Amino acid sequence: MNNCTPKICVVIVTYNRSADLNITLERLYNMREEFFSIIVVNNASTDDTLQLLQKHQNQWGGNFSYYTEKNNTGGAGGFYRGALLATEQQIDWVWMSDDDAVPEIGSIQAISDAAADPNNVYGSVALSKGSASGELCWPLPIINDGKTCQQTKSRYAELSELEEVSIITFLGMAISKEKLAVIGLPNSDYFISGDDVEMNIRCVTNGGKLIAVKNSRLTHPAIPRYTIKVFGKKFSCLKMPPWRRYYDVRNRIWNARLAHGHCSAVYTCVSLLLRSIFTLTYEEYRIAQIKSYAKGMFHGLFTRSERHNQIKILPVLMNQTKKNQTVDN
């Protein structure tokens, strides 16, 4: 690594995608001058991931390490473990991403150059793999006045160099070690889906901003989705299997309660009921899907993350679903 500051630790979480992981690690190896160290969390993969990690450790040397969980803890558990291990190192920032997200050369250096305020979270921009028009994997809700979402940008060319947004995903999320000491590590209770939003809420609640860095690009497989228009409002709905639908529903409600309280949770449930109609219309395994909605809504309303029982979160005005925003499911 060169002598530039800050020092960044890259954290990658993987589960049974050794081919994708290998591509990502090969790219990061060619970028190793841009960061201080790399940690790969292996979520108890049953394919040849362990052998692949051993090969890369021999190739990389001392700045590469990996941790294998005894059980699959989901993306949330993996990022919790990776961030925990990263904070034990002499680093300044942690950059967290998925095993199938391939960063472009210079993308982590761009984060390093942009990360001027350790109170903020900075994020890479995820482009849909194979998109000729520069379509973003996740449309970015832009905040122009510090409070509300003014518009949503869905293509790379529309972005300014730095954009304050209402969400940074775990596709290249950079958070300072200093900020982690204040707001805590990723919440492993979420297992999968919405764990990045929960981190965003804690960041903004504690006075930080979410900044998307245009020059920090990575590619990621396009997210399967379909768009429904109801009374002039667009709903961009994600396709997902029933087992994952449960976590998506539960965690949406947990996040609504965390950010705004029970009134927001009720509004979220109404939205989810509408989305369940879309799911039953356009997706398979309808009985399993409706069971997942019901179970997720029940647990979202009447249970609570153990982490949320232990921390105090002040009310935060995060108006993510207002003017001109496309709502993702």
Q: How does pLDDT run across 232-259, given as a tens digit for each residue?
A: 777 778 899 999 999 999 999 999 999 8
Q: What are the domain boundaries of the chain?
A: 8-220, 225-328
The per-residue pLDDT for 312 is 45
- Residues of the chain with pLDDT > 90: what percent? 75
The per-residue pLDDT for 316 is 32
Summarize pLDDT for 155-172 with one digit per residue, the tens: 999 999 999 999 999 999
For residues 237 and 282, is the Cβ–Cβ distance under 8 A?
Answer: yes
- Give the pair of three-digit tokens for residue 231: 């009374």
What average pLDDT score do residues 128-156 get? 86
Residue 310 above 70 pLDDT?
A: no
- Give the pair of three-digit tokens for residue 152: 């949503």
Q: Which of 178-182, 221-225, 313-317 has the highest mean pLDDT?
A: 178-182
pLDDT band of residue 54 (cuts 50, 70, 90) is very high
The rounded distance, in Å, linking the Cα atoms of 179 and 120 is 8
What average pLDDT score do residues 165-184 get? 97
Residue 126 above 60 pLDDT?
A: yes
C-alpha Rg value of the chain to the nearest Å = 19
Would you tell me which CATH number, out of the four given (3.40.640.10, 3.30.1330.100, 3.20.20.70, 3.90.550.10), belongs to the domain 8-220? 3.90.550.10
For residues 64 and 11, is the Cβ–Cβ distance under 8 A?
Answer: no
What average pLDDT score do residues 257-271 get? 86
Residue 200 above 60 pLDDT?
A: yes
The rounded distance, in Å, linking the Cα atoms of 265 and 302 is 11
Single pTM value for the model: 0.90
Summarize pLDDT for 84-108 with one digit per residue, the tens: 999 999 999 999 999 999 999 999 9
The rounded distance, in Å, linking the Cα atoms of 104 and 83 is 22
CB atoms within 10 A of CB 243: 11
* DSSP assigned state of 188: G
Q: What is the DSSP secondary-structure string of 52-112? A: HHHHHHHHH-TTEEEEE-SS--HHHHHHHHHHHHHHTSS-SEEEEEETT-EEPTTHHHHHH
Residue 261 above 50 pLDDT?
A: yes
Q: How many CA atoms, within 13 angstroms, populate the side-chain half-sphere of residue 199?
A: 34
The per-residue pLDDT for 317 is 29
Q: Residue for token digits 């761009």? A: 110
Burial class (CB in 10 A: 0-12, 13-18, 19+), 199: buried
**What's the mean pLDDT when you consider all of the chain?**
90
For residues 45 and 52, is the Cβ–Cβ distance under 8 A?
Answer: no
- Residue 307, amino acid: R
